Structure 1
Amino acid sequence: MACRGYFLALDEPSVALLLAQDGNDEGLIEVIDELGMTNAPDECEVDKAWDGIHRCLTEGRLGGEDGTYPLNAVVLGGLPLHRGDGYVVSYNTPAEVREVAAALAVLDLDPFIARYWTLDPDDYGAAIDQDDLAYLTSNLQELTTFYQRAAQAGWATVFVVDQ
């Protein structure tokens, strides 16, 4: 699998469809695929940048428990919906989306950049260089704009990545 991540904004009917799949990983991915193709009111693709973005917003590691809220909820810190090994699906309520959007709106990039330069390339799985940092900050800008739109509309969000 490619480990390419994306976010979907979810209106109330979409949230109901998603949450109705509780415990049904296969049904969850089917609903997400359908929403992504036709019904999601907004989306944001972040390719593989999700990994570095999460690490730089938290403590440099992967995991929903790392860092502090609301920045740890940007990517992995929401409610985990997929229980198996094939995907990571992290859900944020509309209230959480507003809090994440507010935190991203005032994010000081200096600590983000400083944390980037301390990442262990072996753990991160990529070279630590200026090109990768530019890739992360560009995707972070798009993600920030996505969260602003979702917060303004009152939508929930879901982050999805295959493993």
Structure 2
Amino acid sequence: MRDLAVLFALSKEEAESFKTVPRAVRSDYMHDNIEDIFFDEHLEYTQELETSWDAMHRMLTDGSLNVQNQHPPLCNVILGGEILYGLKMEDHNPIYSEEESDQLIILKTPEQVREIAEALPKRTKEACRMCYDRIDSRNYGNEKNDEDFEYTWQWLQRSLVFWTRAAKEKRYVLFAADQ
């Protein structure tokens, strides 16, 4: 699960339109109607995360890659929000969908975005490092080291302007990761 990820700040209309797309074609819609258009026409509403998203979620939460981490607002930065594609709920537990194994798509509300934008700048590098150090190397899928932490920290810092703009404009944020 260490593939490329991007955040897109969507208008209310764009978010509502996306949610009406049948689940079976959401991945194609994501590429054709969000990704292609935003990278070409709306870079100010696009924030690449490269492969940092996995460690980023872990260092903003309890060190695990858990969709059900219930410690908002920081748990909402990556895996929090409404799951639109890639995971299905089974007995109140998220499981990866074999039919949707190509991508993970999660939508955050403007309220969640506002809370994230307020909380992220307050999260210190030291606090992130403490959580990063708690990551269980056996289920991380990457080597834990100073270089990986710095890489993740830098991508988190780059995202601050994105979150602030999205919150100020009351936008939804769509997290998308290729798997």
TM-score for both structures, normalised by structure 2: 0.83
- 101-110 vs 70-79, which moves further: 101-110
Q: Is structure 2 residue 51 aligned with structure 1 residue 48? A: yes
Q: CA deviation at 1:158?
A: 0.6
Contact kept in structure 2, 1:101 and 1:144, CA below 8 Å: yes
**What amino acid sits opposite 2:174 in the alignment?**
V
Matched, 1:104 2:120: yes
2:10 is aligned with what amino acid?
L
The within-5 A match list for 1:134-145 is 134-145=150-161
Deviation at 1:67, TM superposition (A): 4.8
Would the alpha carbon gap of residues 67 and 137 (structure 1) be closer, same or farther in structure 2, given more than 3 Å must change? farther
How many residues are aligned here?
Answer: 161
- Distance in 2 (CA, whole Å) between partners of 1:35 and 1:86 is 16
Q: 2:93 corresponds to which residue?
A: none
Partner residue, 2:81: 78
SS of 2:155's equivalent in the other structure is helix
Q: Would the alpha carbon gap of residues 2 and 134 (structure 1) be closer, same or farther in structure 2, given more than 3 Å must change?
A: closer
Q: Does 1:158 align with 2:174?
A: yes
List runs of 5+ in structure 1 lacking aligned partners: none
Q: Map 1:1-163; keep pairs closer than 5 Å.
A: 3-21=3-21, 23-26=22-25, 28-33=26-31, 34-39=33-38, 40=42, 42-82=45-85, 83=87, 84-163=100-179
Name structure 2 gaps, 5 residues minimum: 88-99
